[in-house]
A and B are shown apart, each in its own frame.
Chain A
């Protein structure tokens, strides 16, 4: 053939590749010949134009024929596959269930990862949103909120933001409904929702004139609150309610977007908040309460914005050197909102995704082994089909179609699992990020599931399909009932078992480390006794209790009554309770005898206000001096109690009792009357901080948590105590009524749930792997009956057979464990961030897991091994 011919032939052959492989195999050469002749004739009759026309017709013809051929082939394969699955219900069920669990686990975790880590924020221009925090690390202040003066300065002087808004959270009492209702209130700048790109569901958002001093008070309702409290009534707009002695009009309802930083019931502009709008508060640059968010101008990066804002910080340092002394190293931290919302969740979610991936691998290996096992039984069938002309590739495709169908059905089942677990997933993820509410099974998750199903079918189907090609030759040999399994196939099965054991080991190690870590967390001494303590939050109505005396009187009166109640051993009130997510309230002070050096930071500690009886109620030990008592009145000398850490830190070896400090640069002095034990204020895994306690009698609280030590189960007296509360003030609700044990459990909920999930995965993996190994061993024994029969006939005892089979199975398992060990050493450092006081190569965990896994595989191998030992040599030796 000349050059044109060979080019044409190559092109035609390339075109034929559109057709199925078998079709090409059957008719390809013939089609080439025919086309060749067609070309010659077309050239003769019509010249170049004729040839071109022929090419066109041929290409069209192949494009028209190819799809039909592929579909016909697939339909046939699929039909056959379905018949096979119906005829082997046991296998089908096992495979579908295994795959379903593996795919489901991945689908579930991915739906969380997708919603929390991958999807952009549900706010318009979410990528331009940033959070601002003031820092003064040398003064022990990280993530400080802002004061009004500071907000105004940053708003006026920054160039990189086209919107800077403030937020703080209060709770107020809403009147005008059937019962007084305590509502979580977000107090925000008028353009807060504009900056976030959130448009009201209906009604209107706040306007600039809503934030003018003296403007009529307005409210916006959150979506959840609107549904919960108003039943989704659209006529709620323009309704009026009383809060803080003012009439507030509802102007709009928000759509269901994640609320950040807190889930609030209602929102109001800053001028409607009685605290925020006090002139003294506005004038005080040090009165810091608000969080600040900004929207960067288009094209700005976070680092550029950070630099711009730090330039403003530098301006402030120059303009107000007393408020920002150089020694405290004042600066602004700018972070993207997206980052803030997700960084907590990221390590945990990624670990779980990895774990789910491992579970899937084990599931695939299992199904692959199942398929390989079935290969042996299908030898006859496959051989016959080969003899009838089914090409090897055709059979390969048939088997791949089978595994695809299984994977698709498994995928459907997996999606069902995920859908069922959705609530649990959301509940779990909520502890890490407010984006949890965005978790859905959306199209991305579906696509991911499909991709995983495809991957699964390839992984679980390829190995046996490859092995099938050898079968064709073996199958037709004489005596094929006891055909020796191709060495390649046996090796593949062994490889799969080793891989399953190795990956199971990894998962078990991960779970084991998390469990140990959680266990260590549980055993941390919190510094107090949470047993039999009831807690409830009481936020006084500001307008009613508008003086220190009224606030003090309320709590003293109430606590008096509570203490008299039966079942109550002691009661107290406090600004905050341990193990709850409190914002730090650091304050600086001057120690008597230590003159402050200008430009140097003052000592800083966390200040807390507690009533008398607090330390007693929570069993916080008094190490030196005394706790607060009735003698500490407003008129008496100012007193304080410090914790052990503070005593050590500020007064070293000296006795802190009797020492004094000042909160107002030396005008008045507070004397330390006692030292108490350290308490884990911010979390069992967080460090203790320096704390200074002030008595409630001398620093009244508007918002306090009442703690009650009971002699009976704490929740059983809750009702009675709330009745007492109503007796003191019928319009005063109590919130967050729960026992201290519940608080403690909540504080470790995240690591507990994570280790539970990981353990679930590990258990799943272990079960799948163990049953897989057992199944393969059983099959191997079944196939070696002849050999075993021979051995027994020549004198081997059953126990020797048992040992032989067990030994072979355990050899594989041990190899898997060793590989798993090596893998674990390499991978567990990825878990480091999630672990508490446990090293990633914790020997106890490693040894424990090795033992558990060995035991599990031993049990899995034992049953088939015993069956092998029971083989009757006479039956086994009979030729089939």
Chain B
């Protein structure tokens, strides 16, 4: 397994699906199923990741150092041994932020050109 480079620019471009996963983890540490649910919920069912896609992404993000597996586990009662919890790293947060800012920039341009009306309520 290779350790990902520290330079943000040398990453391969973030796919939308990867960005969704980073977003999901930006809020809190989650396990795999929870990530799926979070993404589905947030996009109102428009983006539904399958296990194959999700774990391919998780593997990439782990390799690039954007997420890590959390060592500590929740209290006994809620724990399923097979579940692994993932946490966004500082670097991951930076990458997600950079991507979000990039999108924001694009959106501003779109708004200026009247492609978007008003920002929709959250």
Contact A57 B50 (CB under 8 A): yes
Query: Which one, A22-30, A106-114, A318-326, A538-546, is touching chain B?
Result: A22-30
Contact B56 A65 (CB under 8 A): yes
Q: What does the 1/0 interface line of B3-35 toward A look like (CB < 8 Å)?
A: 000000000000000000000000000001100
Contact B51 A34 (CB under 8 A): yes
Contact A58 B59 (CB under 8 A): no
Does any Cβ of B come within 8 Å of A599's Cβ?
A: no
Neighbour of B53 across the interface among A27, A29, A61, CB < 8 A: A61
Does any Cβ of A come within 8 Å of B82's Cβ?
A: yes
Q: What's the least CB distance linking B117 to chain A, in Å?
A: 33
Does any Cβ of A come within 8 Å of B2's Cβ?
A: yes
CA of A27 to CA of B50 in the docked complex: distance in angstroms? Answer: 14
Total chain B interface residues with beta-carbon distance under 8 A: 20
Neighbour of A68 across the interface among B49, B56, B80, B82, CB < 8 A: B56
Instruction: Give the residues from 52 to 68 in chain B that come closer than 8 angstroms, CB to CB, to chain A.
Output: 52-56, 58-59
A57-B2 CB under 8 A given contacts A34-B33, A38-B36: no
Contact A27 B82 (CB under 8 A): no
Contacts of B54 in A (CB 8 A): 34
CA of A334 to CA of B56 in the docked complex: distance in angstroms? Answer: 67
A27-B55 CB under 8 A given contacts A33-B80, A61-B50: yes
CA of A660 to CA of B20 in the docked complex: distance in angstroms? Answer: 112
Contact A34 B36 (CB under 8 A): yes
Contacts of A69 in B (CB 8 A): 56, 59
Neighbour of A31 across the interface among B2, B48, B51, B80, CB < 8 A: B51
Of listed A26, A68, A388, residue having the most chain B CB within 10 A: A26
CA of A63 to CA of B54 in the docked complex: distance in angstroms? Answer: 13
Does any Cβ of B come within 8 Å of A37's Cβ?
A: yes
Q: Is the interface of B mostly helix, strand, loop or mixed?
A: helix
Contacts of B53 in A (CB 8 A): 61, 64-65
Q: What does the 1/0 interface line of A48-59 toward B look like (CB < 8 Å)?
A: 000000000110
Contact A64 B84 (CB under 8 A): no
Contacts of A30 in B (CB 8 A): 32, 55, 82-84
Contacts of A26 in B (CB 8 A): 59
CA of A63 to CA of B83 in the docked complex: distance in angstroms? Answer: 24
Contact A65 B36 (CB under 8 A): no
Contact A64 B52 (CB under 8 A): yes
Q: What's the least CB distance linking B112 to chain A, in Å?
A: 37
Neighbour of B52 across the interface among A29, A32, A33, A62, CB < 8 A: A62
A61-B51 CB under 8 A given contacts A23-B59, A38-B36, A390-B1: yes
Instruction: Give the residues from 78 to 121 in chain B that come closer than 8 angstroms, CB to CB, to chain A.
Output: 80, 82-84
Contact A33 B83 (CB under 8 A): yes
Q: What's the least CB distance linking B58 to chain A, in Å?
A: 7
CA of A64 to CA of B55 in the docked complex: distance in angstroms? Answer: 12
Neighbour of B55 across the interface among A31, A60, A63, CB < 8 A: A31
Does any Cβ of B come within 8 Å of A843's Cβ?
A: no
Instruction: Give the residues from 7 to 49 in chain A that come closer than 8 angstroms, CB to CB, to chain B.
Output: 19, 23, 26-27, 29-35, 37-38
Q: What's the least CB distance linking A753 to chain B, in Å?
A: 54
Contact A62 B50 (CB under 8 A): yes
Q: What's the least CB distance linking B83 to chain A, in Å?
A: 6
Of listed B32, B51, B82, B84, residue having the most chain A CB within 10 A: B51
Does any Cβ of B come within 8 Å of A492's Cβ?
A: no
Contacts of B32 in A (CB 8 A): 30-31, 33-34
A76-B83 CB under 8 A given contacts A61-B52, A65-B53: no
Q: What's the least CB distance linking A564 to chain B, in Å?
A: 91
Q: What's the least CB distance linking B14 to chain A, in Å?
A: 16
CA of A19 to CA of B84 in the docked complex: distance in angstroms? Answer: 20
Contact B82 A76 (CB under 8 A): no
Q: What's the least CB distance linking A64 to chain B, in Å?
A: 7
Contact A29 B50 (CB under 8 A): no
CA of A30 to CA of B32 in the docked complex: distance in angstroms? Answer: 8
A35-B1 CB under 8 A given contacts A26-B59, A30-B83, A65-B56: no
Contact B33 A27 (CB under 8 A): no
Contacts of B2 in A (CB 8 A): 76
Q: What's the least CB distance linking A851 to chain B, in Å?
A: 55
Does any Cβ of B come within 8 Å of A479's Cβ?
A: no
CA of A30 to CA of B51 in the docked complex: distance in angstroms? Answer: 9
Contact A57 B48 (CB under 8 A): yes
The residue of chain B having its C-beta at the shortest distance from the C-beta of A33 within the complex is: B82
Q: What's the least CB distance linking A797 to chain B, in Å?
A: 53
CA of A69 to CA of B60 in the docked complex: distance in angstroms? Answer: 10
Does any Cβ of B come within 8 Å of A66's Cβ?
A: yes
The residue of chain A having its C-beta at the shortest distance from the C-beta of B32 within the complex is: A34
Contact A33 B33 (CB under 8 A): yes
Contacts of A390 in B (CB 8 A): 1
Instruction: Give the residues from 380 to 417 in chain A that come closer than 8 angstroms, CB to CB, to chain B.
Output: 388-390
Contacts of B50 in A (CB 8 A): 57-58, 60-62
Q: What's the least CB distance linking B47 to chain A, in Å?
A: 12
Contacts of B55 in A (CB 8 A): 23, 27, 30-31, 65
CA of A58 to CA of B56 in the docked complex: distance in angstroms? Answer: 13
Contacts of A35 in B (CB 8 A): 51
Contact B51 A38 (CB under 8 A): yes
Contacts of A27 in B (CB 8 A): 55, 58-59
CA of A58 to CA of B52 in the docked complex: distance in angstroms? Answer: 7
Q: What's the least CB distance linking B3 to chain A, in Å?
A: 10
The residue of chain A having its C-beta at the shortest distance from the C-beta of B35 within the complex is: A34
CA of A19 to CA of B52 in the docked complex: distance in angstroms? Answer: 9
The residue of chain B having its C-beta at the shortest distance from the C-beta of A55 within the complex is: B50
CA of A19 to CA of B54 in the docked complex: distance in angstroms? Answer: 13
CA of A26 to CA of B62 in the docked complex: distance in angstroms? Answer: 12
Q: What's the least CB distance linking B39 to chain A, in Å?
A: 13
Contacts of A34 in B (CB 8 A): 32-33, 36, 51, 54
Contact B33 A37 (CB under 8 A): yes
Q: What does the 1/0 interface line of A235-260 toward B look like (CB < 8 Å)?
A: 00000000000000000000000000
Q: What does the 1/0 interface line of A792-825 toward B look like (CB < 8 Å)?
A: 0000000000000000000000000000000000
CA of A327 to CA of B32 in the docked complex: distance in angstroms? Answer: 95
Contacts of A38 in B (CB 8 A): 33, 36, 51
Q: What's the least CB distance linking B75 to chain A, in Å?
A: 19
Of listed B49, B56, B82, residue having the most chain A CB within 10 A: B56
Contacts of B82 in A (CB 8 A): 29-30, 32-33
Contacts of A37 in B (CB 8 A): 33
The residue of chain B having its C-beta at the shortest distance from the C-beta of A36 within the complex is: B33
Q: What does the 1/0 interface line of A74-111 toward B look like (CB < 8 Å)?
A: 00100000000000000000000000000000000000
Q: What's the least CB distance linking A843 to chain B, in Å?
A: 62
The residue of chain B having its C-beta at the shortest distance from the C-beta of A68 within the complex is: B56
CA of A864 to CA of B82 in the docked complex: distance in angstroms? Answer: 55
The residue of chain A having its C-beta at the shortest distance from the C-beta of B1 within the complex is: A389
Q: What does the 1/0 interface line of A167-211 toward B look like (CB < 8 Å)?
A: 000000000000000000000000000000000000000000000
CA of A30 to CA of B50 in the docked complex: distance in angstroms? Answer: 13
Q: What's the least CB distance linking B19 to chain A, in Å?
A: 17
Contacts of B59 in A (CB 8 A): 23, 26-27, 69
Contacts of A76 in B (CB 8 A): 2
Q: What's the least CB distance linking B67 to chain A, in Å?
A: 13
Contacts of B36 in A (CB 8 A): 34, 38
Q: What's the least CB distance linking B82 to chain A, in Å?
A: 5
Neighbour of A58 across the interface among B33, B51, B83, B84, CB < 8 A: B51
CA of A64 to CA of B15 in the docked complex: distance in angstroms? Answer: 14
CA of A19 to CA of B58 in the docked complex: distance in angstroms? Answer: 14
Contact A66 B1 (CB under 8 A): no
CA of A64 to CA of B51 in the docked complex: distance in angstroms? Answer: 11
Contacts of A389 in B (CB 8 A): 1
Jot down 5 A-B pairs with beta carbons below 8 A, ordered by A. Answer: A30-B55, A30-B84, A38-B51, A61-B53, A65-B52
> Which 7 pairs, one residue from A and one from B, show the smallest C-beta to C-beta distance?
A61-B50, A61-B52, A62-B52, A65-B56, A65-B52, A61-B53, A34-B33
Interface set of B (CB-CB < 8 Å, partner A): 1-2, 32-33, 36, 48-56, 58-59, 80, 82-84
A-B contact sample (4 more), CB < 8 A, given A32-B82, A60-B50, A390-B1: A30-B32, A30-B84, A31-B55, A34-B32
